Amino acid sequence: AQSVTQPDIHITVSEGASLELRCNYSYGATPYLFWYVQSPGQGLQLLLKYFSGDTLVQGIKGFEAEFKRSQSSFNLRKPSVHWSDAAEYFCAVGAPGAGSYQLTFGKGTKLSVIP
């Protein structure tokens, strides 16, 4: 079974600073990879996804993520954080060919932004 680890529970950055949120997964092959964002009291919004091909993927709101097979990682980055990016971020994996669209989520990283 697949699993996802987000090592950082809470990260605080200053507005305008760069951001990197870490995600490591465990799966026997290359999974489908996702980053979602959740604002308080809201559902999850898809930021970006990786299925195959180019290992650097671009998403919405200026986010990008890089898939590194050798490190089983899919870290999320943003060059300059805005106050509105404060939210909780979830990394998720899906198992291709499993016959179900089930996603396995990490525990999330809460991002705080200092003005």
Partner 1 sequence: KAGVTQTPRYLIKTRGQQVTLSCSPISGHRSVSWYQQTPGQGLQFLFEYFSETQRNKGNFPGRFSGRQFSNSRSEMNVSTLELGDSALYLCASSFREYEQFFGPGTRLTVL
Q: Is position 90 an interface residue for partner 1 (rule: CB under 8 A)?
A: yes
Measure the CA–CA gap between 49 and 94, rounded to whole angstroms: 11
CB atoms within 10 A of CB 25: 20
Structure token pair of residue 51 = 């299925």
How far is Cα of residue 15 from the mean position of the Cα atoms in its chain? 20
Query: Mask of contacts with partner 1, 56-75, x by CB under 8 A?
Result: --------------------
Stretch in the footprint of partner 1 (CB under 8 A) among 19-27, 64-72, 77-85, 96-104 = 96-104
- Is 36 within 8 Å of 45 (Cβ atoms)? yes
Query: How many residues sit in the footprint of partner 1 (CB under 8 A)?
Result: 25
> Minimal distance in Å, beta carbon 94 to partner 1?
4
> Minimal distance in Å, beta carbon 17 to partner 1?
27
Measure the CA–CA gap between 106 and 3, rounded to whole angstroms: 8
Interacting residue ranges for partner 1, rule: CB under 8 A: 32, 34, 36, 41-46, 49, 51, 90, 94, 96, 98-108
